[in-house]
Structure 1
């Protein structure tokens, strides 16, 4: 770890689930950040765990606070563009939760604005730091199963009832599973395989009276392989969420990262490893190495979302690369838009 004598003062725009689990605990525990302000419009829940932070009643107050250097925009996706733009125009560095924005045009405008303001814009793609995804990434990059021929990435839930969260499950731009879980799927596919040649997608609302898609299947076309992305609200018994078949073999990996579970239990994260590994093997490899047939169970090394915040800190203080720049967010939203166009028109869309 590098120099942390510089302290970055941060403000969080919301203290809902995202703020409570994925942002406040990490900002508070990281030695290079100070959790300076938290927005709660009417409640006082943050006072119990973070009494030293300032309680703010309106998001706009964060933008006007000259002491804050970093703003975390973790409000509903429909507000991301407006809040991030205001923060950037005030010269603040900004972390924007996923989905990044409602449209790729908004995403591009924010990215361009951050460059013109000479500030950092980070997209919050924490699932890049899950242990299971890191295990898959290592297998792909090391070519342990040879050249990938086909891959499937799933992100499922069992949620047969429509959520009361209006911004996620009502007839609003950026709502639906294609944005909510699709933002993770698109980002991981692009991280592993880059930009595809074309997209074909099927989306529908399976739940009674659902105003938004709650099932999605997307096929990404590459020159020498295919990638399938799937998400559903009707998966009660999870299957293998990562199925990768290559020229030398197959790798199966379950979505097994325990960080969210630990955070829900109130476990405090740290810069050092703080989350246990899965209690039983969560991956299976069948491949050929030096002419030998290998079949083995594998257990992923625990991930750590603190590494995201460490990467953000190093970018801000020591000029390290942005871990998830706005350009990455633009590409993810463009991919979702292409998938929605494909599903709407029932055709392959070249991208």
Structure 2
């Protein structure tokens, strides 16, 4: 049994990490950092509540630390946890600079500890369905992919690391990282990027709109997001010389976990009727149009793999090097938007 400590009990801790940790039988949610009221005890009465990060990493009973704090704390807290001899899971984005990421990867290797980034969107139906279609070859030569992460949100929250114009803030680092990660997993590193980013809700705010074009040798990948989309279209559109695939709807796992439904419960991760794809291909001059139900996602595989990697029974699936490449791409796109020019990668 591996003891786990959570560095925060906000949305990510309460909705994602704590339930997924408790759903993995080889993990125990041992400690939760809450500097103010110990509200986590209402959900996890057997957990130990600490008020400081130093106290958390000093505990020899803790094996794995989950750094699920605001972005600017990812690097210092991950570094401190690794130096304390802990395995670490860190929320996305991995770090805010390439130098920080490279330092942490080297430190984890030096300490002989597992370091992984929680890229959970790889385990959702959008990514899984796109991967299946692309690998099937049914669309022939892929020439264009457009990926959307849109929502309608007019309010401004109190979270400075999401709303204020600070390094690593805004939807590009919050939502764009998911699409960038999927793009890199499916197609590898692009050759260049051209990006347009702005703040729609207030001029001085962080990015809440982006339209980025990534250039491959014979492929364009467009990643888009806006906070002013009240009627959503396809989340993923893939076009090739033999046809097209459009993916609609959203994965249910996040919404289920917000309602208290976790892995192992009835109906877990079962896609709704609105989660489907349309495959339109041309064979021998005839068009064939097929409706394909969305695949079931599996968030639970993340911590299952973490335990396997720590125990040495399986390789780590969510490597920090992959997420650091994502950081490189995020920063290049921001620079492109700033300079209003194409940036080579």
Interval of TM-score (by shorter of Structure 1 and Structure 2)? over 0.9
Bigger shift: residues 193-202 or 309-318: 309-318
Instruction: Tell me if the contact between 1:216 and 1:232 (Cα under 8 Å) persists in the aligned partners.
Output: yes
Q: Tell whether 2:260 aligns with 1:279.
A: no
* Cα distance, 1:282 vs structure 2: 1.9
Q: 1:281 to 1:124 in 2, by over 3 A?
A: closer
Counterparts in 2 of 1:272 and 1:290: CA distance versus 1, 3 Å? farther
**Residue in 2 that maps onto 1:172:** 166
User: In structure 2, the residue corresponding to 1:316 is in which secondary structure?
Assistant: helix
CA–CA distance in structure 2, aligned partners of residues 270 and 79 of structure 1: 33
The alignment status of 1:333 with 2:314, answered yes or no, reads no
Q: Aligned pair count?
A: 345
Offset from partner CA, 1:311-343 (integer Å, 9 cap, x none): 111111134121211101110010011001111
1:217 matched residue in structure 2: 211
- Residue in 2 aligned with 1:3? none
Partner of 2:83: 89
Which residue of 152, 176, 179 maps to 1:158?
Answer: 152
Give the distance between the partners of 1:208 and 1:124, measured in 2 at CA.
30
Distance 1:224 1:344 in 2: 26
Counterparts in 2 of 1:56 and 1:221: CA distance versus 1, 3 Å: same
Counterpart of 1:204 in structure 2 is 198
**Residue 235 in 1 paired to residue 229 in 2?**
yes
Query: Which stretch shifts more, 86-95 or 106-115?
Result: 106-115
Which residue number in structure 2 is paired with residue 8 of structure 1? 2
Moved more, 259-268 or 312-321: 312-321
Work out whether residues 270 and 306 of structure 1, in 8 Å CA contact, stay in contact via their aligned partners in 2.
no
Whether contact under 8 Å (2:249, 2:274) holds in the other structure is no
Indicate conservation of the 8 Å contact 1:205/1:212, yes or no: yes
Q: TM-score w.r.t. structure 1 length? A: 0.94
Gaps of 5+ in 1: 1-6
Structure 1 segment 239-258 matched on structure 2, within 5 A: 239-258=233-252
Pair 59,272 (structure 1): closer, same or farther in 2 beyond 3 Å: farther
Give the match for residue 187 of structure 1: 181
TM-score by length of 2: 0.96
Change (3 A) 1:225 1:52: same
Query: After superposition, what is the alpha-carbon deviation per residue over 1:262-308, rounded to whole angstroms, capped at 9, x for unaligned?
Result: 11111132399722221245211011357753211111122010011
Assess, with a 3 A threshold, how the Cα gap between structure 1 residues 289 and 134 changes in structure 2: closer, same or farther. farther
Instruction: Report the counterpart of residue 103 of structure 1 in structure 2.
Output: 97
- Aligned to 2:45, the other structure's residue is in SS state coil
The 3-state SS of whatever aligns with 2:133 is helix
Counterpart in the other structure of 2:58? 64
- 1:206 offset after TM fit, Å? 1.5
Structure 2 unaligned spans of 5+ = none
Structure-1 separation of matches of 2:139 and 2:265: 32
Tell me the distance in 1 between the aligned counterparts of 2:134 and 2:249: 16
Structure 2 distance, partners of 1:22, 1:79, is 19
Does 2:120 align with 1:134? no
Q: Shift of residue 122 of structure 1?
A: 0.3
Kindly indicate whether the alpha-carbon contact (under 8 Å) linking 1:162 and 1:210 is maintained by their aligned counterparts in 2. Answer: no
- Give 3-state SS (helix, strand or coil) of 2:278's partner: strand
For 1:272 and 1:334, the matched residues in 2 are separated by: 40
Alignment partner, residue 29 of structure 1: 23
Helix, strand or coil at the partner of 2:197:
strand
1:143 has 2:137 as partner: yes
Query: Is the CA contact 1:271–1:306 (under 8 Å) kept in the aligned structure 2?
Result: no
CA distance 1:315–1:272, change in 2 (3 Å): farther
CA distance in 2, matches of 1:32, 1:270: 15
- Superposition RMSD in Å: 1.6
